[in-house]
Chain A
Amino acid sequence: MAEAAHEEVHRHPAPTSFIRKYIFSLDHKVIGIQYILLALTAVVVGLVMSILMRMNLSWPGTHWPIMATLFPTGAPGGIMSPEFYLSLVTMHGTIMVFFVLTTAPQGGFGNYFLPIQIGAEDMAFPFLNMMSFWVTFVGFIVLLLAIFAEGNLTIGAWFSKLGESFAAGSGTVGPIGGWTGYPPLSALGKVSGPGQGAGVNLWIISIAIFCIGSLLGALNFITTLLNMRTKGMSLMRMPLTCWAWFTTAILALLSFPVLLAGGILLLLDRVAGTSFFIPGGLYVSGSLVPLHTGGSPLLWQHLFWFFGHPEVYIAILPGMGATSHILSTFARKPVFGYRAMVFAIFAIGMLGFFVWGHHMFMSGMSPYSAIAFSVLTLSIGVPSAIKTFNWLGTLWGAKIRFTTAMLFAIGFVSLFVAGGITGLVLGQTSLDFFFHDTYFVTAHFHLVMGVASIFGMFAATYFWFPKMFGRMMSESLGKFHFWITFIGVYAIFVPFHAMGMLGMPRRYAQFGEYEFLKNAHGLVLFVTIAAIITAAVQIVFYFNFFWSMFKGKKATDNPWEATTLEWTTATPPPHDNFAGVVPEVYRGPYEFSVPGAPRDFIMQTEPEGAEIGAGLGEASGNGGSGHKH
């Protein structure tokens, strides 16, 4: 048996030149890190934008000298204009959803760990994998171009030469139509408002490019998982992370093409004069819109949300997988109800394709289909609840080690419950009469797909950092980061519900216009202060990340005493992951605290009989190498 696990395979030599090794690398590990670095960059942009939005909401009309310098037209005299605010809303949403919540969990951690966890030496199509990252990267650059095209007069003038629909330099930092880009607002061009010229075109192109990158990634994930699992790695022996990445890849594979289709149609409406989404007889800014007839604005909403809802799960499923994985590891317990967890992940993913209409209850679509969508939406609560119960079951009777990764994983469970449960309110058509497009919605999705997903990624970072970089992150800095962030995000997003109760609409540049919102001003200020503190603490995370990369304590191969394949190989793993050895798997992924076994964990590669200590001469007990309490 032991021999079987050490068969030599054909080994691809590791590249030696800097460019092939670190830039245009075919190695899934390098590509994964590239994705993570991209997300770490994008999230800074998105976060700074959210702080600017908070400042504008809390201190409207305040003169910020630095803003006057940075954005002379978007913030004339240092006072942010409403269109500048809306462009922040749009770009914050787009950057966070696409370039953070889709890249880090799937492209980043999935890329790095899926092949290792199933015992493969790389992805099925390394070249496509490399393309997938670089295409995504180009998408990000194009999105940044949208910022500069609208925000910078010189660059804007350059784009304006491309034609009417590319008019730019409006003083915003991109389009003002929100990340959902509803036409006709997004289809009519600059006549519908500042930022709606080149900004929207570049925004659509960026998203289309992103779609292609994600599709290449999804193709790779699915093929790799189906085709390259090592000996003994049956589907039901895969770590739950792999199930999550696999389901996510299926969602991406089937939903991104639909967004791509919508994007193509929208772009054609803007630059080629077609009328897919633009109805006839529109009168905008003092004149009749010529040429267009008969288009359907709702068609875009259907296409967009057919993608948009699965996208929510694309963001959070990998976080669920990582959480299950990390909870089990530090609880020193097998995952409670592994099969139920797999079923729940799949059920959430598949049901996710049939609920997009709940974003459109108020849109003017058929009230009958709204009812169907509503019932299906609330049924997604069932597999979500199953997951929560099983996480609690995993912790029940555990022996919890409170590492930073574990804290964030527990935080994930808490936030997932807090954010997900209000879906029961928002999924009801009758309650959406009031709550649709209020801050109640903003609270719901920020908690569940934003913050919970990010907590999943923080947990993943603290957990896998040693394997990726060969050094430990600082636990004390990590814990400090956890506590402020955990309390901070609740302080930010719980009050959003209260604003929603007052009926506060989303995407308002200011709230002073309405009497019914005057009781919200205290809340708005409170949230802003909480947001600034929480955002500032992320500097600690960045410091910890980059400092530990070079100066952290050296990590052993299996510092957390975990069981899955990534902990059987060297730290960091060699170019082909297992140094020419084909690992063979003999058991499920979460064999912790097996009674009678010499240690409180049994690795997946330990042959049959390890339960009773045969063939293993290591010390029993729960103390182990590299683990710190």
Chain B
Amino acid sequence: MAAAVTSTERIIDTTVGGGPRLREGNGLPKNGEGNRQEGGDSIRFSPDRYRIGVWVAIGSILMLFVALASAYIVRSASGNDWQSIAMPKVLWLSTALILISSITMEVSRRSLKRQSDAGYGRWLMITVALGLGFLASQILAWRQLVRQGVYLASNPYNSFFYLFTAAHGLHLLGGILALGYLLLRTTSKRGTLEGELRRTGAADAATIYWHFMDGLWVALFLLLFLWK
């Protein structure tokens, strides 16, 4: 049974009431199994806990940025001191880097799904490099602004610019740390079924998070670009 498991989706696939079920004795985490017995029909999809966890976390991070973005919009209308600046060109590079990193992350995840450990590790590493490149490019943008004499408190637009990039950067750094952890784990041998599930689950979760960071940056970039 263990060898047949290639993805989390497979394991947590629908469980038809009365049909064969995965047994706890196999060392599987017992989560997500046959929870609904009422009614008996019960095709129940119960996603993996890492995946739920990451979606829940995304919900709260999204609220943080929604709050900041609302503050941005309210503040832009509240005083007559709002002055936007020309966005540093290097931000286009940042955007390109993070968009590409999303693709490499996806490639990495699919490699794992195909049981290609080497491909998984390689693409993961590329993604980390692109992520670090993104952060470097963001810092470059800051340095350009500082050279122009644009500081955090110079103007509310700038305050938000620094705040958005810093908050996003911190969250992305968290993502990079998570990828680093996955990278460390790639060297370990394939073990129990539960271990495999945890590995694919974590990779899935990290991918979701990474795509979210990508989308979040694009949204922030558009906000800063279009709502001046």
Contact surface of A with B, Cβ cutoff 8 Å: 7-10, 124-125, 215, 218-219, 222-223, 226-234, 236-237, 253-258, 260-262, 264-265, 268, 272-276, 279-280, 291, 293-296, 299, 302-303, 306, 582
Q: Which residue of B lies closest to A252 (CB)?
A: B60
Within 8 A of A (CB), among B66-87: 66-68, 70-71, 74-75, 78-82
Cβ of B53 and Cβ of A279 under 8 Å apart?
Answer: no
The answer to whether A268 and B57 touch (CB under 8 A), given A10-B194, A234-B36, A295-B78, is no
Cα of A296 to Cα of B79 in the assembled complex, Å: 8
Chain A positions within 8 Å of B194 at CB level: 10
The 6 closest A-B pairs by CB, nearest first: A294-B79, A261-B67, A257-B64, A273-B153, A296-B78, A294-B81
Residue pair A296, B60 in contact (C-beta under 8 Å): no
- Cβ of B30 within 8 Å of any chain A Cβ, yes or no, is yes
In angstroms, Cα B66 to Cα A260, docked, is: 12
Whether A229 and B63, one on each chain, are in contact in the complex, defined by CB atoms closer than 8 angstroms, is no
B56 at interface, CB cutoff 8 A = yes
Task: Please tell me if B183 contacts chain A, counting CB pairs below 8 Å.
Answer: no
Q: B115 — which chain A residues lie within 8 A by C-beta? A: none
Asked whether, in the complex, the Cβ of B153 is within 8 Å of the Cβ of A291, the reply is yes
**Range of interface residues on B (Cβ < 8 Å):** 35 or more
Which of A230, A253, A265, A294 is B71 in contact with, Cβ under 8 Å? A265
Indicate if the CB atoms of A236 and B38 lie closer than 8 Å.
Answer: yes
Chain B proximity of A50: nearest CB distance (Å): 31
Interface hits, B7-55 → A, CB 8 Å:
23-25, 27, 29-38, 46-49, 52-53
Q: Count CB-based A-B contacts (< 8 Å).
A: 142
Q: Please tell me if the beta carbons of B52 and A276 are within 8 angstroms of each other in the complex.
A: no
Given that A227-B47, A254-B63 are contacting pairs, would A219 and B163 also be in contact in the complex, using a CB cutoff of 8 Å? no
B93 within 8 A of A: no
Q: Which residues of A contact B75 (CB under 8 A)?
A: 276, 294-296, 299
**In the complex, chain A residues whose CB is within 8 Å of the CB of B149:** none
Name the residue on A nearest B38 (C-beta). Answer: A234
CA distance A265 to B75 in the complex (A): 12
Is there an interface contact between A257 and B152, defined as CB atoms closer than 8 Å? no
Contact of B61 with A by CB under 8 A:
yes
Taking a contact as CB atoms under 8 Å apart, the answer to whether B24 and A582 are in contact is yes
Cα–Cα distance between A280 and B81 once the two chains are bound (Å): 10
Complex Cα gap A57–B116 (Å):
73
- With a CB–CB cut-off of 8 A, which chain A residues contact B27? 10
Q: Which residues of A contact B64 (CB under 8 A)?
A: 257-258, 260-261
Assess the B67–A262 pair: CB atoms within 8 A: yes
Assuming the A-B contacts A227-B47, A233-B35, A296-B79, are A7 and B52 also in contact, with contact meaning beta carbons closer than 8 angstroms in the complex?
no
A299 touches B78 (CB 8 A): yes
Is B191 among interface residues, defined by CB-CB distance under 8 A?
Answer: no
A546→B178 CA distance, assembly (Å) = 42
- Are B52 and A296 interface neighbours, CB within 8 A? no
- Closest CB of chain B to A217's CB: distance in Å? 11
Cross-chain pairs A/B with CB under 8 angstroms, 16 sampled: A215-B60, A219-B57, A222-B52, A227-B46, A231-B34, A232-B37, A256-B60, A265-B68, A272-B153, A280-B81, A294-B79, A294-B156, A295-B156, A299-B75, A303-B70, A306-B67
Q: Are B52 and A227 in contact (CB under 8 A)?
A: yes
Among residues of A, the one whose C-beta sits closest to the C-beta of B39 is: A234
CB distance from B115 to the nearest CB of A (A): 24
Question: How many Å lie between the Cα of A379 and that of B29 in the bound state?
Answer: 43
Q: Of A227, A257, A264, which is within 8 A of B60 by CB?
A: A257
A8 is contacted by which of B25, B32, B49, B60 (Cβ under 8 Å)? B25
With A218-B60, A219-B56 in contact, is A7–B67 under 8 Å at CB? no
List the B side residues contacting A234 at CB < 8 Å: 35-38
> Which listed residue, B53, B63, B159, touches A268 by the CB 8 Å rule?
B159
Are the C-beta atoms of B35 and A222 separated by less than 8 Å? no
Interface residue from B24, B34, B82, B153 paired with A274 (Cβ < 8 Å): B153
Q: Which residues of A contact B59 (CB under 8 A)?
A: 253-254
A132 to B30, CA, bound (A): 24
Which of B29, B48, B61, B163 meets A264, CB within 8 Å? B163
Q: Is the CB of A299 within 8 A of B71?
A: yes
Residue of A nearest to B68 (CB): A261
Neighbour of B56 across the interface among A223, A255, A280, CB < 8 A = A223
Once the chains are docked, how many angstroms separate the CA of A257 from the CA of B58? Answer: 11
In the complex, given contacts A124-B53, A222-B56, A223-B56, what are 5 additional A-B residue pairs having Cβ atoms less than 8 angstroms apart? A7-B23, A231-B33, A255-B63, A280-B81, A299-B71
Bound state CA distance, A582 and B32, in angstroms? 13
